[in-house]
Amino acid sequence: MSFDMEPWEADAACVGQDPDVFFTGSDEKAAVAVCASCPVRAECLALALRKGFEFGVFGGYTATQRKTMRRKKGASAYV
Ligand code: SF4
């Protein structure tokens, strides 16, 4: 898993937010609500699906939701 910064991350709606909300699953509804207005949501979701991030909320989707997406399409669809 890579945590290198992507160029679009500076525009993310979660910049300055409590990272625990996004990465620990402590409040998935709050994280998803922030993502809903994020201008780089599509890029974020694509990255999370491509990298197979197993935890947290990315692109407005929980880890469980992303796992289902990858299973339905096949992980190779996101490479
Ligand atoms: S979609 Fe959500 S997690 Fe991804 S960059 Fe935007 S606010 Fe952050």
Count of domains observed in the chain: 1
SS (H, E, C) the chain: CCCCCCHHHHHCCCCCCCHHHHHCCCCHHHHHHHHHCCCCHHHHHHHHHHHCCCCCCECCECHHHHHHHHHHHCHHHHC
Q: Is 45 within the bounds of a domain?
A: yes
* Chain segment 2-15, per-residue pLDDT in tens: 467 899 999 999 99
* Chain segment 49-58, per-residue pLDDT in tens: 999 999 999 9
56 pocket-lining for ligand 1 (C-beta < 6 Å) = no
pLDDT value of position 3: 61
Q: Is 54 within the bounds of a domain?
A: yes
| Mutate which of 34, 61, 66 for ligand 1 pocket (most atoms within 8 A of beta carbon) | 34
pLDDT value of position 1: 44
Structural domain range at position 40: 9-68
Annotated binding residues for [4Fe-4S] cluster: 14, 35, 38, 44
